[in-house]
Structure 1
Amino acid sequence: MRITGIEAVPYAIPYTKPLKFASGEVHAAEHVLVRVHTDDGAVGVADAVPRPFTYGETQASVVAVIERIFTPQLVGEDVFARERIHGRLHRTVGNPAAKSALDMALWDLAGQSCGRSVTELLGGHTDRMRVSHMLGFDAPQRMADEALRVRDTYGIAVFKVKVGRRPVGLDLDVCRALRSALGDEAELYVDGNRGWTASEAAAALRELDELGMTLAEELCPADDVLGRRWLVAQSRIPFVADESATTPAEAARSLLDGAATAISVKTARTGFTHSQRVLFLCEGLGAEVVMGNQIDGQLGTVCTVAFGAAHAASSRRAGELSNFLDMSDDLLTDPPVITDGTLAVRDGPGLGVVIDDAKLARYRQDR
């Protein structure tokens, strides 16, 4: 099965409300649908999710690097020659979203070829994951109201709380409002997107300790080397590296240098192949992982649960799998459905998805 062509289709779908956090805010899913075509007529798909304020990629840069650099390198290659393909992609520095989408589309093709789901190919541990819902910046009561709505509608009992604003007191008020509204049975954890200093984060963690937070993610910049190490050393809960650990090497440095004790794995950033490498590294070092969310739509969410459910270590915690609910529309003919706080792996070979071509035509940005 050889690659005959690659499409990179930019599209934009508005969110029902902006998602705000310390490193930026998004008003629309400005993504790139990647389709890899083969000589036997099969098509593998994946979503590239650029985040310019985190990784430097834009929608235009993803399209350009795929069309001008990666496609000429990959046309004619065997779909199953992933190591050789990654060697060619690695010649170009950066571009994690573009590379990850290509990798996941190849895994989709591999699954289609042998009649197995991507989850089965990767490990086949379970068929579903518990879901965590991510709450962006808002007033305390509005964030509490959203959490209650999501809990009552979808059965979700795990919430990631975006913090990192100044004054810190507003974020503490949000966490208190959430705990009061949801009660002790809900799991809450915080993500600062590097918005606090180390000293602010340390003071906040002392205040948050009584609220039973289970994780703390990127509360201060990893580039603040001594401050981050000092903060992690005194944290009583796992401290998660996310945007500071975007490769297996960065994850290893974060854990060995004391800059983190857990790692967020995002298939939108490391695909399936390199996400496995990050995951196995964490297992070897005894570090926990959480399946993160790059504000994915339906297709990105399908990829995340496909990977997370495949392994025991990545399915242990709830995955961030619900933010496609914040989109005003989407591209799949058969949307994911969250039931009793869980999301199931798709049936069918590969990723098991079908793109609605009429919706893609409506939202694409290149025509």
Structure 2
Amino acid sequence: MRITRVRATPVAVPYRTDETWAFGRRRGLVALLVEVDTDEGLTGLGEAAAYPSADAVLGALRAMEPLVVGSDPLRIEQLVQRIDVVGTYHHTGCSSPAAAALETACWDLLGKSCGTPVVNLLGGRFRDRVEFFHYVAAAGPDEVRAEGARAARAGARTCYLKVGSDDLDTDLERLAALREGAGRKMGIRVDANEAWSAGAAVQAVAAMEEFGLELVEQPVSGRNLPEMAYVRSRIGTPLLANEASWTRSDQFAVLREGAADVVSADQQMDGGLLNLKRSAGLCAAAGVPVVKHSLGELGVAVAAAVHVIASTPNFRCANQGYGALLTDDIVEGRFAGPLENYTDGCLEVPPEPGLGVRLDAEKVGRYAELYREEGAGFAFHDPAALSRAPALPKR
């Protein structure tokens, strides 16, 4: 089998409500759907997050195309090494989602050619379904309270809330509303996106702990691991590394410094599914749980991650997903996408060969057109935040 062509389609899918974090917002999710065609008539599916932008990732994908066309897609390690070493893309960054999409498509092709789900090629099922948290958009207390109640009705066990507001009282009001709406049994995870200095982080987490926190994600800069370790030693809530831990090299450094209790990993930011599995193995060796991070993914990338997570023991916490925010998806059936496709916050492992998902041609066309017409409006930016001259940390 040989790769004959790589096709990429940018799509934009709206959110129910804007996603807002310490330094910006976006009103929907942009992704690049990648289809890898072969001379045997099989097509593999992949998906690249539009990080930092769709144009940047599309440019990287086109530059990688000569490295993969003509290759055997079933020799996944060989193909990835050609991208990383010959193409010099081992310097991870905005090229990583493109490489991950190509690698994922090859796993899809391998599963389809063998007639088995990808999970069986990665060690088999350790679990039959994969848990995701309920993303609660940062909003006014009434909206946050209502979303917490929605999460509880849906059977979610963990809610995720962005913090790091200009005023700590705003964060505390939202947290109080979320606890009230979600109930006392709901796990609550907060994410500051590096918004705080070490002293501010210790102060903020201490104030928030009365509401019962499961994890506090990246409270300080991910580029200062001793500072992370210091904050970890001063707070009562386990610290989750995120911006500090997007690649295996980063994760190794976090573990060596004792800078986190839990580590997040992301196949989009480290070149693919096999590296996500390796990340989990690295963390398991250190006795640390791992969490799947997401820059915002649709059904193809979510399905791909589910196969890895289902086959890997130490994904013991709820993983990041966008089901609570998405209005739709681009895959057929009830596998991924909006919240109603989840059961108690979980997705079943697809049983079909490969990734087990198929594109919905009508929806792909619709959201590709939306991207062409309004793609700039879905980008990672916020005019109001830009006017405030943002800088890290906030306080």
Alignment TM class, shorter chain as reference: over 0.9
Residue equivalent to 2:261 = 261
Residue equivalent to 1:357 = 361
Residue equivalent to 1:55 = none
Residue equivalent to 2:60 = 65
For residues 16-55 of structure 1, what are the structure 2 equivalents within 5 Å?
16-52=16-52
Structure 1 distance, partners of 2:66, 2:130, is: 38
Structure 2 distance, partners of 1:103, 1:9, is: 17
Structure 2 distance, partners of 1:281, 1:117, is: 24
Secondary structure at the aligned position of 1:155 is classed as coil
Identity of matched residues, %: 30
Q: Structure 1 runs of 4+ off > 6 angstroms? A: none
1:138 is the counterpart of 2:139: yes
1:333 is the counterpart of 2:352: no
Secondary structure at the aligned position of 2:185 is classed as coil
**Deviation by residue 1:219-246 (Cα, 9 ceiling, x = unmatched):** 1112345432311222333211112211
For residues 243-262 of structure 1, what are the structure 2 equivalents within 5 Å?
243-262=243-262
Q: Following TM superposition, by how much is the alpha carbon of 1:192 offset from its aligned partner in structure 2, in angstroms?
A: 0.9
Distance 1:223 1:268, change over 3 A: closer
Structure 2 distance, partners of 1:3, 1:344, is: 30
Q: Following TM superposition, by how much is the alpha carbon of 1:100 offset from its aligned partner in structure 2, in angstroms?
A: 1.2
Tell me, yes or no, if the aligned pair for 1:295 and 1:324 is still in contact at 8 Å: no
Structure 1 distance, partners of 2:33, 2:120, is: 24
Tell me, yes or no, if the aligned pair for 2:134 and 2:323 is still in contact at 8 Å: no
Structure 2 distance, partners of 1:80, 1:230, is: 45
Q: Following TM superposition, by how much is the alpha carbon of 1:183 offset from its aligned partner in structure 2, in angstroms?
A: 2.3
For residues 1-367 of structure 1, what are the structure 2 equivalents within 5 Å?
1-52=1-52, 58-67=53-62, 69-90=63-84, 91-92=88-89, 93=91, 94=93, 95-123=95-123, 124-152=125-153, 154-270=154-270, 271-314=272-315, 316-321=316-321, 323-336=322-335, 337-364=341-368, 365=371
Structure 1 distance, partners of 2:207, 2:109, is: 49
Structure 2 distance, partners of 1:358, 1:147, is: 33
Secondary structure at the aligned position of 1:343 is classed as strand
User: What is the letter of the counterpart of residue 296 of structure 1?
Assistant: E
Q: Following TM superposition, by how much is the alpha carbon of 1:108 offset from its aligned partner in structure 2, in angstroms?
A: 1.0
Give the stretch that moved more between structures: 292-301 or 25-34: 292-301
Structure 1 distance, partners of 2:33, 2:149, is: 33
User: What is the letter of the counterpart of residue 364 of structure 2?
Assistant: L
Tell me, yes or no, if the aligned pair for 2:33 and 2:47 is still in contact at 8 Å: yes
Tell me, yes or no, if the aligned pair for 2:13 and 2:327 is still in contact at 8 Å: yes
Tell me, yes or no, if the aligned pair for 2:131 and 2:347 is still in contact at 8 Å: yes
Q: Following TM superposition, by how much is the alpha carbon of 1:263 offset from its aligned partner in structure 2, in angstroms?
A: 0.8
Structure 2 distance, partners of 1:226, 1:341, is: 35
Aligned-residue RMSD, C-alpha? 1.8
- Unpaired runs of 5+ in structure 2? 336-340, 374-395
**Deviation by residue 1:247-288 (Cα, 9 ceiling, x = unmatched):** 101111012123323211223333211111111100011111
Structure 1 distance, partners of 2:23, 2:47, is: 22
Secondary structure at the aligned position of 1:348 is classed as coil
Tell me, yes or no, if the aligned pair for 1:129 and 1:308 is still in contact at 8 Å: yes
Tell me, yes or no, if the aligned pair for 2:188 and 2:212 is still in contact at 8 Å: yes
How many residues of Structure 1 are paired with residues of Structure 2 in the alignment? Answer: 358
Distance 1:221 1:272, change over 3 A: same
Tell me, yes or no, if the aligned pair for 2:119 and 2:310 is still in contact at 8 Å: yes
Distance 1:281 1:63, change over 3 A: same
Secondary structure at the aligned position of 1:320 is classed as coil
User: What is the letter of the counterpart of residue 77 of structure 1?
Assistant: S
User: What is the letter of the counterpart of residue 353 of structure 1?
Assistant: V
Structure 2 distance, partners of 1:135, 1:198, is: 25
**Deviation by residue 1:149-202 (Cα, 9 ceiling, x = unmatched):** 1321x2112111111112122112211222222222111111111112221110
Structure 2 distance, partners of 1:211, 1:285, is: 30
User: What is the letter of the counterpart of residue 151 of structure 2?
Assistant: V
